Amino acid sequence: MFNYQDILNTEPFSLSQKDKNELLCSCLKELTEFHYKNCESYKKILDILNIDFEDLTAVEKIPFIPVRLFKEYELSSIKKDDIFKTMTSSGTSGQAVSKIFLDKETAANQQKTLVKIVSSFTGAARMPMLIIDSPSVIKNRLMFSARGAGILGFSIFGADRTYALDDNMNIDISAIEAFLERHKGQKILLFGFTFMIWQYFYKELKKLNHKIDLSNGILIHGGGWKKLVNEAVSKEDFKKSLNEVCGLKSVHDYYGMVEQTGCVYMECEHGHLHASVFSDVITRRTKDFSLCEKGEKGIIQVVSLLPKSYPGHSLLTEDEGIILGEDDCPCGRKGKYFEIKGRIKNAEIRGCSDTYERR
Amino acid sequence: MNDVKYLIGNENITVSPLPTFSEEVCNFLNDLSKAILQSPAGRLYPDLSALAFWSRKGNIQKIKEIYNQQEIRLGRGLCFHIAPSNIPINFAFSYLFSLLAGNANIVRLPSKDFPQVNELVSIMKSVFENYSEIEKRTAFVKYGRNNEITQSFSQKADARMIWGGDNTIATVRQMSTKPRCVDIAFADRYSVCIIDANKILEADEKTMQRLGENFYNDTYLMDQNACSSPQLIYWLNDNDQAREKFWNIVLKTAQQKYDLQDAICVDKYTKLCEDAIDNTEFIKRTTNTGNLLYRSELKKLSAYVENLRGKGGYFYEYSLSDIEEFLKIVNEKYQTVTYFGIDAKKLADILLVHNIAGIDRIVPIGKAMDIDIIWDGHDLVRELSRVISYS
């Protein structure tokens, strides 16, 4: 099995796609074989798909499993005793949640990988950190929700961590102002979830017509645009509006999922999401899962070198996206860059069931 | 009750029953048929033209003759219909069957907006101008999820047509009704297909092409999600060459006609993986040609196989040694057997001899969706009317 620590020493955006593919392919193949041996359900799937290990000669030939399976089954490649923590996705009540089983090694690698990727954007020095969320989100540490995990994960980049919202999701102006007073003239890290920032931070600041100065800030936000699309808020609107109420200039979206925690895809200064050397995105066509051309919209598959304790190294997501290019983003980062187009459209299922919705 | 939108009629519905197959109703059906066929919508929507084709004079006359004309029959009174939300025109068949029986009708239309439903409502309105007696016995309603409204309509009903599957039936059955109210409930059902491989080998190109289209209409057209869509394909006199010939034409048809939505594609792939985890006891191997057609070959048969349900072009197949092998696992959930190359009457006779609890329809491939007054094992016109005996 490859040594992940060696790979961690690679600069996250330093490899050309060609070199990266070589690295990914051999490691992903080893992961595939590892999970085949250690996860009974994963083995059954590969058997039915008739996977020939000799044939796994390119990244795109690595088999993928639907991300939804983690909601329906407990998929793990480690012994029960070795489970160090279980992460869940942040489903609203009633929805099934993903369950991801981590051992110490995988959990540590997730953290280290996140540090590598994010610090290549923010710099290695820790900054004062303002979390645009409520402290109550991480109080229940028994079950790690994606929101809590995100906050904790990103917290290692910050000092003097301060929450901008109180326990009831109300904006805490005095806490924010005291924080800014303490760190006058310093670079500040802000972190939060896209919709929460819009709903409880931007809208409140606008309503209160209260000016705060975050022109020294760098905001990292994620969690998806679904709710903002409903409110017809575009990426540009989001940035512009935040700039208006608090002078923020540096805003970075990220794409990631609880099933591949650690391997986040960060948005660069040119508005493109970038894949690091630790993971990649592949877009596929609906009709036969063949590869999309550059610029062609498709269903997103994500591959990552991190998942060792659970068979999540190659997943078919329920998101759509477009690969914009390779190795040639004006920001200088190597590898693929892409754009997320949101969730795949809910199917209009025809048929005769489900007439009378129960209350 | 302010949340009820009346597309046709109003609260003051006339309930007095009409004779079964009354002349006025038969004429109304024929005029409706003509009006649909003459409208642009009738050409645009195949389900509307199917409705027009069914309600034409010749067909209704034929049905009428099959019924015993010596009997004196009247409608039961008021029939309340809860239509399925996903099949646009099903409500209209339900309504017309009940109208032929002689009932006044309150019909809850699908909550989703379908263009062909709106077209049909406006066509009906124009035909009603000459049929005031029928118009005042008709109400088409729309309302969101609301148990009180369904309860209040149920309270008035002498008969209820409950479409929409097991959950709907359970909810609606809890509501109180008149003591004599008759419920016809259309539960979740399961359907299969039986093919004689020898007959496939004999079939010429034209037959195969038609067969491909017919099979497509039974399955892909409704994303394989209708109760009468076959899930499992049984092969009699199994033969690899025949299978290949059949699936090639199915795939070819699907390639020409089927718009595989992203979500269905992911659902289908997920289903395949779920089968791998849960059902390897039954599944021998899986063949997929792109994402349009998935086939899983079964290694054994048991009552459990009715739980194997594909969607959007995912079929199970099994090589049958003889028909009895299949009959052993049939239960009351089985609705439709579509077939190619077998004798339907013979199969029906076998069901009788073997005291089989399931299977209500045996129809050629292509007819799975053809709804008629005999449906789901019910003789709808008889059950929705009452007979007056005299001596």
Question: Are A260 and A283 part of one and the same domain?
Answer: no
What is the CATH superfamily name and number for domain B5-186+379-388? Aldehyde Dehydrogenase; Chain A, domain 1 (3.40.605.10)
Which residues of chain B make contact with A44, given a CB cutoff of 8 A? Answer: 276-277, 280
pLDDT attached to residue B112? 81
Least Cα separation, residue B251 to chain A (angstroms) = 12
| Least CB–CB distance from A347: residue in B84, B168, B261 | B261
Other residues' Cβ atoms within 10 Å of the Cβ of residue A9: 7
Domain ranges of chain B: 5-186+379-388, 190-364
Closest residue in B to A66 (Cα) is B270
pLDDT at A354 over 50: no
Closest residue in A to B282 (Cα) is A48
Question: Cα A62 vs. chain centroid, distance in angstroms?
Answer: 21
- In the predicted model, residues of chain B with pLDDT beneath 50 are none
Least Cα separation, residue B235 to chain A (angstroms) = 22
CATH number of the domain where residue A171 is located: 3.40.50
User: Whole-number mean pLDDT of chain A?
Assistant: 90
Question: Are A329 and A221 part of one and the same domain?
Answer: no
Question: Are A131 and A241 part of one and the same domain?
Answer: yes
> B134, B24 in Cβ contact below 8 A?
yes
Note whether A287 contacts B273, CB cutoff 8 Å.
no
CA torsion angle A312 A318 A319 A321 (round to 10) = 80
Closest residue in A to B168 (Cα) is A356
Q: Is A286 on the interface with B (CB under 8 A)?
A: yes
Q: Is A51 on the interface with B (CB under 8 A)?
A: no
Q: Is A342 on the interface with B (CB under 8 A)?
A: no
Asked if the structure places residue A355 within a domain, the reply is: no
Q: pLDDT tens-digit profile of B207-254?
A: 999 999 999 999 998 889 889 999 999 999 999 999 999 999 999 999
Note whether A350 contacts B86, CB cutoff 8 Å.
yes
Note whether B270 contacts A66, CB cutoff 8 Å.
yes
Asked if the structure places residue A97 within a domain, the reply is: no
Residue keyed to tokens 């090639």: B248
What is the DSSP track for A23-54? HHHHHHHHHHHHHHHH-HHHHHHHHHTT--GG
> A134, A163 in Cβ contact below 8 A?
yes
pLDDT at A100 over 90: yes
Domain boundary among A245, A267, A289: A267
Q: Is A48 on the interface with B (CB under 8 A)?
A: yes
- Which ipTM was obtained for this model? 0.90
Burial of A205 (0-12, 13-18, 19+ CB in 10 A): buried
| Least CB–CB distance from B266: residue in A344, A355, A359 | A344
Domain boundary among A250, A267, A284: A267
> B283, B302 in Cβ contact below 8 A?
no
User: Rounded to whole angstroms, how far apart are CA atoms B44 and B41?
Assistant: 5
Note whether B266 contacts A357, CB cutoff 8 Å.
no
Note whether B269 contacts A355, CB cutoff 8 Å.
no
Token code pair at residue B73: 């029959």
Q: Is A72 on the interface with B (CB under 8 A)?
A: yes
What is the DSSP track for A148-217? HHHHHHHHTTEEEEEESB-TTS-B-HHHHHHHHHHTTTS-EEEEEEHHHIIIIIIHHHHHHT-----TTE
pLDDT attached to residue A356? 42
Cα distance between the two ends of chain A: 52
pLDDT attached to residue A355? 39
Asked if the structure places residue A102 within a domain, the reply is: no
Domain boundary among A267, A299, A320: A267
Least Cα separation, residue A42 to chain B (angstroms) = 8
Alpha helix (H) residue ranges in B310-387: 323-327, 344-353, 380-383
Note whether B292 contacts A353, CB cutoff 8 Å.
no
Q: pLDDT tens-digit profile of B264-294?
A: 999 999 999 999 999 999 999 999 889 999 9
pLDDT at A93 over 80: no
Which residues of chain A make contact with B167, given a CB cutoff of 8 A? Answer: 354, 356, 358
Which residues of chain B make contact with A348, given a CB cutoff of 8 A? Answer: 261
In terms of DSSP bridges, do strands B138-142 and B104-108 run parallel, antiparallel, or are they unpaired?
Answer: parallel
Closest residue in A to B172 (Cα) is A356
pLDDT at A89 over 90: no
Q: Is A50 on the interface with B (CB under 8 A)?
A: yes
Asked if the structure places residue A78 within a domain, the reply is: no
Asked if the structure places residue A8 within a domain, the reply is: yes
Note whether B269 contacts A66, CB cutoff 8 Å.
yes
Question: Are A235 and A145 part of one and the same domain?
Answer: yes
Helix/strand/coil for A222: strand
Other residues' Cβ atoms within 10 Å of the Cβ of residue A226: 11
Residue B102, sorted as left (phi over 0), alpha (psi -120 to 50) or beta, turns out to be: left
| Least CB–CB distance from B263: residue in A47, A48, A347 | A347
Q: Higher-confidence residue: A182 or A226?
A: A182
Note whether A289 contacts B291, CB cutoff 8 Å.
yes
> A298, A64 in Cβ contact below 8 A?
no
> Count of domains in chain A?
2
pLDDT at A349 over 80: no
- What range defines the domain where residue A316 resides? 1-72+272-343
Which residues of chain A make contact with B164, given a CB cutoff of 8 A? Answer: 352-356
Question: Are A162 and A243 part of one and the same domain?
Answer: yes
pLDDT at A358 over 60: no
> B229, B191 in Cβ contact below 8 A?
yes
Please state, in angstroms and as integers, the Cα–Cα distance from residue A250 to each residue in A55, A162, A287, A304, following that order.
45, 19, 40, 27
Q: pLDDT tens-digit profile of A3-39?
A: 999 999 999 999 999 999 999 999 999 999 999 999 9
pLDDT attached to residue A353? 45
Which residues of chain B make contact with A287, given a CB cutoff of 8 A? Answer: 260, 265, 290-292
> B296, B317 in Cβ contact below 8 A?
yes
Query: How confident is the model over A306-335, as a mean pLDDT?
Result: 96
Note whether B266 contacts A287, CB cutoff 8 Å.
no
Question: Are A300 and A326 part of one and the same domain?
Answer: yes
Q: What is the pTM of this model?
A: 0.89
Other residues' Cβ atoms within 10 Å of the Cβ of residue B387: 11
Q: B190-364 architecture in CATH? A: 3-Layer(aba) Sandwich (3.40)
Q: Which helix (H) or strand (E) holds B185?
A: strand B182-185
Report the percentage of chain A scoring pLDDT > 70. Answer: 92
Question: Are A170 and A249 part of one and the same domain?
Answer: yes
Q: CA nearest B205: which of B236, B243, B245, B237?
A: B245
pLDDT at A141 over 70: no
Least Cα separation, residue B391 to chain A (angstroms) = 44
Q: Is A295 on the interface with B (CB under 8 A)?
A: no
Question: Are A134 and A252 part of one and the same domain?
Answer: yes
Question: Are A320 and A192 part of one and the same domain?
Answer: no
Q: CA nearest B100: which of B183, B35, B30, B185?
A: B30
Note whether A352 contacts B286, CB cutoff 8 Å.
no
